[in-house]
Chains A and B, each alone.
Chain A
Amino acid sequence: MTRSESVDIGKPVAVPVKEDGDGDGGDVAAHVSRTRAVVRRFRANRSAVVGCALLLLIIIVTAAAPLIAPYGPTQVDISDRLSGPTAEHWLGTDSLGRDTLTRLMYGGRVSLAAAGLAVLIATAIGLPLGLISGYFGGVVDWFLDRAADVLMSFPAIVLTIAIIAAVGPGLTTAMVSLGIVYAPRMFRVVRGSTIEVRREVYIEASTSIGTPSLMILRKRVMPNILPATLVQLSFLLASALLAEVTVSLLGLGALPPTASWGSMLGQAFQEMRSQPWLAVYPGIAIAIATLCFNLVGDGLRDAFGRETRKA
């Protein structure tokens, strides 16, 4: 970042500008080479690759929990409560004698799936509305943008638990609420990059030929807003994971005996004075998963280069 890009003091050296397939996107060949360039840049980013690999590992391990976990998630072993790390229980047990490692795997399943659900809903709402708003502009855009303003004038977590207060607790409720609360964040990013793409000349050219709007949206706009959307997706996943943990920690999300990283942390907090280590493991798991989402997001953003700005 320090070297070539800043050698312009009185232009003492003519640094050749290397552009790796920076096509406008209209041309298929340019598109392929741009995608390749993005993949190459992402793979050259060591921390992004590590983050990606770790994330995959976490997903595989948690998804395969029923197959590989040593115990059942609610399997109680009264004779072996509050055990420290042993050969039978690598990470010890809780006050009911449940295996911490097992619950961590099952809990990750719940937490990650919940975060995924929230982001899926946010995208399902925000992406199409953002496209419409950014592409057509006008009254629709004004109205949708104000709606986003309204939703964004609350802290996400406060609005989420307020909805929970009305509808009642439960993980699905919580995540649906969160999805709605996060929708403006996806909306804003998609809208912003759609407006940018729309301004570009080739869209105007397409319109004048008489290509139907829907076709333009699908063929031209969608590929160009993909970078921003993907980047936002990974950052939203990190936020949503944290939000799941927060609501479950507060006892408004995943309810006992279901294990989630949040509910485990909540339970551990209750018993922190007697068994402090129980609070440590879920926290580390959350931190690693969050770090991975962030690393992947940063990596994607850098790989897409100046085409994307974080919203």
Chain B
Amino acid sequence: MLRLLSVRLLAMIPLLVIVSFLIYSLIALVPGGPEVVLAGDNPTPERIQEIREELGLDDPFLVQYWNWLTDVLQGDLGNSFVDDQSVWSAVAAGFPVTLSLVALTLLIAAVLGLALGLAAGLRPGSWIDRLSTVTASAFMALPYFWVGMMLVLLFAIQVRMLPAVGYVPFTQSPLEWLEHLILPAFSLATVPTAVVARQTRAAVTSVMQEDYVRTARAKGLHPRRVAVKHVMKNAAVPVVTAFGVEANRLIGATVVIEQLFALPGVGKLAYFSVFSRDFPMVQGILLITAVLIMLVNLAVDLSYGYFNPKVRTS
């Protein structure tokens, strides 16, 4: 297990090198170069040259990339163009917020999606199956940010039950933390819930046809135990895969949702950086996002071994 983990981590390195190169190359796409952006309105040529030297833009591109990469490897992601704050500390400040949001969203999606999918898959064709299918289709189609707006409209503006904006750290007040996150998390959870429900339904209906489910029934087990133990573990692989894909999509969606609910997370930071063309910040966030997503994919891959013992031995 440990060996497999280290092998897989090592295998990530070449991909990371290419990814980081791609991220750094974004600067090359900037019309006129980043110095023009940084110099502000009506810059003098001298000012531009000054900035070019400061950023080392006169070096060959590969040298620039190499310098950036070595800095990154030493834990220095550079400083913001906007306020000179270190990228690392800015991301670190927003990270708990985004992590809370994503974790809560995945929790909601897991509970709702698994319940809907399992209920539907155990009784295909029943009313609960139809209800689950319709719910999933609706959740798939509703734009998550629109759901967010409607939830704000309903629970924050009309009923004034929950706050519309802002964030309170969990360590400060778990209840307020939840109050601030429940609406954004719920809006983000719609699509993952639908996807998980669909995958679960499909996997469960097919596993239910398996001979070993009949064996489990023949052992006198309660249908609930058959479903939870014998069916779910075998149905888990496609469901977990769906979770991985959705986690990836979720990280993207936080950009919008954090903006909508004024949550001071990495997504909001990303948006602000894109808007103010703060390239070091954008690059840093992209790199961290890519690493996170690779880790999520790795975790998903490793989980296959748990759910399917055959994978483990081969």
Check B149 against A166 for contact (C-beta < 8 Å). no
Q: A252 on the interface (CB 8 Å rule)?
A: yes
Interface segment, one of B55-63, B225-233, B252-260: B252-260
- Contact status B146-A279, CB under 8 Å: yes
Counting CB contacts under 8 A, is B150 at the interface? yes
Instruction: Point out the residue from A155, A162, A163, A164 that lies within 8 Å of B248, measured CB to CB.
Output: A155
What residues on B are CB-neighbors of A163 within 8 Å?
26, 29
Any A CB within 8 A of the CB of B91: no
B168 at the interface (CB under 8 A from A): no
**Which positions 220-265 of chain B face chain A at CB distance < 8 Å?**
248-253, 255-256, 259-260
Min C-beta distance of A252 to chain B, whole Å: 7
- Closest B residue by C-beta to A282: B146
Contacts of A283 in B (CB 8 A): 142-143, 146, 149-150
- Secondary structure call for the B interface: helix
User: Is B31 on the interface with A (CB-CB < 8 A)?
Assistant: yes
- Across the interface, which residues of A come within 8 angstroms of B15, CB to CB? 146, 149-150, 153
Which of the 9-residue segments A112-120, A218-226, A288-296 touches chain B? A288-296
Q: Does B289 contact A (CB under 8 A)?
A: yes
**Chain B nearest CB, measured from A311 CB (Å):** 11
Q: Among the listed A1, A164, A168, A269, which residue makes an inter-chain contact with B125, where contact means beta carbons less than 8 Å apart?
A: A1
Flag whether B18 is at the interface (Cβ < 8 A): yes
Residues of A within 8 Å of B39, CB to CB, are: none
CB distance from B162 to the nearest CB of A (A): 15
Residues of B within 8 A of A250 (CB): 255-256, 259, 271
Interface string of B260-282 (1 = CB under 8 A from A): 10000000001101110101001
Number of B residues whose C-beta is below 8 Å from A?
Answer: 51
30 contacts between A and B (CB under 8 A): A1-B125, A153-B15, A153-B19, A155-B250, A155-B293, A156-B252, A158-B255, A158-B270, A158-B286, A161-B270, A162-B23, A162-B282, A165-B273, A166-B279, A168-B31, A245-B145, A250-B259, A269-B260, A276-B153, A276-B157, A279-B146, A282-B146, A283-B142, A283-B143, A283-B150, A286-B146, A287-B138, A287-B143, A291-B141, A295-B137
What is B's interface to A at a CB cutoff of 8 Å?
15, 18-19, 22-23, 26-27, 29-31, 124-125, 137-138, 140-143, 145-146, 149-150, 152-153, 157, 205, 209, 248-253, 255-256, 259-260, 270-271, 273-275, 277, 279, 282, 285-286, 289-290, 293-294
